[in-house]
Chain A
Amino acid sequence: MESSKAEQIEKIIAALKEKYEDQVLLIESPYDFLTVSLRREKIVEIIDYLYHHPDTQFKFLTTLCGIHYPDQNSIVVMYQLHNLVTNQRIRLKIFLPENNLVTPTITSIFQGANWMERETYDFFGVVFEGHPNLTRILNVEEMIMFPMRKEFPVEDQVREDKNDMMFGR
């Protein structure tokens, strides 16, 4: 069982490298979860390729989210795909610099990405080009901040009645 899983992962990596060797930045496997960092340019093409390739067949989008790394001035968009036939998962990451948070949408491949991308836009300000309705989803329309970015404080910073020095991050 274990060896077949390792073989599967090798096949996936081979399939990916066969066509997009230059796009792959890093392949790792934290906590046994295949994670591939990619260049940002061809992400939709790669997801489409992984969807159709017979060795990969990642036809299920489990989740999609943003991660803000303030020291690297970048926001990561993480796609987590699942092959329901072989029960294999993969995580794809692209790094967007803070001054250019634009990436194409994957709603043409997965309709379910619609709201996930809206949520990522709402909280991180990542603009998904070509998205059918890229508006805020959970926050109010008038909001001007992207609240999940690290520089956005949880509480009003002018409050003086609370001392959080010993608690929280």
Chain B
Amino acid sequence: MPEAKYIAIDHPVQPEEKQYSYLNLGPTHPATHGIFQNVLKMDGEIIVDAVPTIGYIHRAFEKLAEHKPFYQVTPLTDRMNYCSSPINNLGWYMTVEKLLRINLPKRVDYLRIIVMELARITDHLVCNAVIGVDTGALTGFVYMFQQREHVYEIYEEICGARLTTNLGRIGGFERDFSPKAWAKLDKFLKEFPVVLKEFENLLVRNRIFMDRTIGIGGITSEKALNYSFTGPNLRAAGIDYDVRVAHPYSSYEDFDFVIPVGTNGDVYDRFMVRQEEMWQSLNIIKQAIKKLPEGPYHGDVPDFYLPPKEQVYDNMEALIYHFKIVMGETDVPKGEVYHCVEGGNGELGFYLISDGGRTPFRLHFRRPCFIYYQAYPEMIKGSMLSDAILTLSSMNVIAGELDA
């Protein structure tokens, strides 16, 4: 037997234990679009595990709300999902109105629907434009943000503010829509579909975009339900739950619209669901304008709705009401109410317990972002870092809503 050419190694080298690298994604990473941190355990470019840390902009809204009269809670709600603050504002008013058992004229409901659908458009528009940016397509982003500006100008005509709107009052609106607001709304309704169509042409059947998004960051419908997903993220997974249909508020039952549903719950489906929802929102706004009844822009609730300023100066009752409302001295019934609206990200719930005092005894916000963001580590496990960024932006995680 010839001598062995190679000497057998009798002490085989122990394979070194696999080395993982750890990467801090955030707290202030430009690609996370908000302040939250993820500590990623990486095997090369594959994510093995992720630990999210949140709470960087926690502002204790639930605690603050316990020390503020009802009408002063609104500015807090603005700052939750700041991409669609009018929905938060109006959702909060509707909660209080439910507690007080106030019925509003149809005109108020329809005006509210117009504003809420505009807000939904801006919310989805930001999310979808940013998905485009994260796949490397910056052009669509610029087109879409120009349109967001136009919506903010409409808000400005309605309430005077743009981002944190504090729009409306308990019992209606502070003023009717001005002719200028209507003109801007008409202009938007004419221009936006063109831009939206162009944006779709850029991305929807774009090979690069499809390759980047299809099958990425998916979640099954069972998992999505188990994680209490709501909104476009749940619908992308194939569950047709929409609060506007399931529990109609603000006369949504009068409108005819379609709930788009996805199948795979991946980034592409979420993108497409949001895209279709924008078309549906446009449709709802058009219907609302068409059907808009004449009438007052606020309900008949002198206990909560401020009287006109001229009356305050020469009418005793108006002066009393004015003082009582501003000081938060009007009586509210005891009770507990849960009211939910379809926010930009899903079921935005307000759980309000009143003990008859001037402030809420307890106010709990059901924040859709906070609830579905906990599924994020599971959704990105085994995917690449760049896909994790894409998953994050397609879930539309808004730091303000996450941390309240």
A binding-site residues for B, Cβ under 8 Å? 30-31, 33, 35, 59-63, 65, 67-68, 78, 80, 84, 87, 89, 91, 110-116, 119, 123, 137-140, 147-148, 152, 154, 166, 168-169
Given contact pairs A63-B349, A111-B223, A112-B371, enumerate 4 new A-B contacts (beta carbons under 8 Å): A33-B338, A62-B228, A84-B239, A166-B327
B98: contacting residue among A31, A67, A111, A147, CB under 8 A:
A31
Of B111-119, B151-159, B350-358, the stretch lying at the interface with chain A is B350-358
User: Taking the nearest CB of chain B, how far is it from the CB of A166, in angstroms?
Assistant: 8
- Whether B49 sits at the interface, judged by CB under 8 Å, is no
**CB nearest to B223 among chain A residues:** A111
By the criterion of a CB under 8 Å from any partner CB, how many residues of chain B are at the interface? Answer: 46
Residue in chain A with minimal CB distance to B222: A59
Among B20-28, B54-62, B254-262, the stretch in contact with A: B54-62
Answer whether A62 and B374 are a contact pair too, CB < 8 Å, given A31-B336, A147-B63: no
Q: List 9 A-B contacts (CB under 8 A).
A: A31-B338, A84-B239, A110-B226, A111-B374, A119-B370, A139-B58, A148-B62, A168-B68, A169-B357
Q: Are A63 and B364 in contact (CB under 8 A)?
A: yes
Instruction: Please measure, in the bound complex, the distance between the C-alpha atom of A59 and the C-alpha atom of B224, giving whole angstroms.
Output: 12
Known A30-B336, A80-B351, A138-B55; contact A112-B362, beta-carbon cutoff 8 A: no
Please give the distance in Å from B26's CB to the nearest CB on chain A.
16
Tell yes or no: B102 within 8 A of A by CB: no
B72 to chain A, nearest CB (A): 10
B183: Cβ under 8 A from any A Cβ? no
Q: What residues of chain A lie closer than 8 Å to B226, measured between beta carbons?
A: 110-112
A112-B374 in contact given A65-B364, A87-B246 (Cβ < 8 Å): yes
Complex partner residue of A148 from B63, B67, B370, CB under 8 angstroms = B63
Q: A31-B336, A33-B338, A137-B55 are in contact. Are A116 and B68 (CB under 8 A)?
A: no
Nearest CB on B from A14, distance (A): 24
CB distance from B327 to the nearest CB of A (A): 8
Q: What is the chain B residue whose CB lies nearest that of A93?
A: B336
Is B335 in contact with chain A by the CB < 8 A criterion? yes
A154 touches B338 (CB 8 A): no
Q: Are B54 and A137 in contact (CB under 8 A)?
A: yes
How far does the alpha carbon of A113 sit from the alpha carbon of B375 in the complex, in Å?
11
CB closest chain-B residue, reference A169? B359
Residues of A within 8 A of B349 (CB): 62-63
Instruction: Give A135 Cβ to nearest chain B Cβ, in Å.
Output: 10
Nearest A residue to B362 via CB reads A67
- Chain B 220-235 interface 0/1 with A at a Cβ cutoff of 8 Å (1 = within): 0001011111000000
Partner of B60, one of A111, A113, A147: A147
Q: Is the CB of B55 within 8 A of A139?
A: yes
B67 contacts across to A, CB distance below 8 A: 154, 168-169
Cβ-based interface call for B66 (8 A):
yes
Cβ A138 vs Cβ B227 within 8 A: no
> Is B41 part of the contact surface with A, judged by Cβ < 8 Å?
no
Q: Which residues of B contact A140 (CB under 8 A)?
A: 55
Q: How far is the CA of A115 from the CA of B351 in the complex (A)?
A: 18
Q: Nearest chain-A residue to B359 (Cβ)?
A: A169
Closest 4 interchain pairs by CB? Answer: A112-B228, A138-B55, A63-B366, A65-B364
Residues on B facing A (Cβ under 8 Å): 54-55, 58, 60, 62-64, 66-68, 98-99, 223, 225-229, 239, 241, 246-247, 327, 335-338, 340, 347, 349, 351, 353, 357-359, 362, 364, 366, 370-375, 403-404
Contact partners of A147 in chain B: CB under 8 A: 60, 63
Residues on B with C-beta less than 8 A from A89 are 338
Contacts of B371 in A (CB 8 A): 63, 112, 115-116
Nearest B residue to A168, CB-CB: B67
Nearest CB on A from B374, distance (A): 4
Contact A78 B351 (CB under 8 A): yes
Q: Across the interface, which residues of B come within 8 angstroms of A61, CB to CB?
A: 228
Question: Which residues of the other chain, B, contact A35 by a CB distance below 8 angstroms?
Answer: 336
Most buried by A among B223, B225, B364: B364
A62-B349, A114-B374 as given contacts; A138 in contact with B68, CB under 8 Å: no
Contact B63 A84 (CB under 8 A): no
- Whole-angstrom distance between the Cβ of A112 and the nearest chain B Cβ: 3
Shortest CB-to-CB span from B369 to chain A, Å, is 11
Which residue in A31, A67, A111, A139 is a CB contact (below 8 Å) of B337?
A: A31
Kindly report which residue of chain A lies nearest to residue B53, judged by CB atoms. Answer: A137
Query: Hey, which chain A residues are within 8 Å of B60, CB to CB?
Result: 147
Chain B residues with CB under 8 A of A63: 349, 351, 364, 366, 371
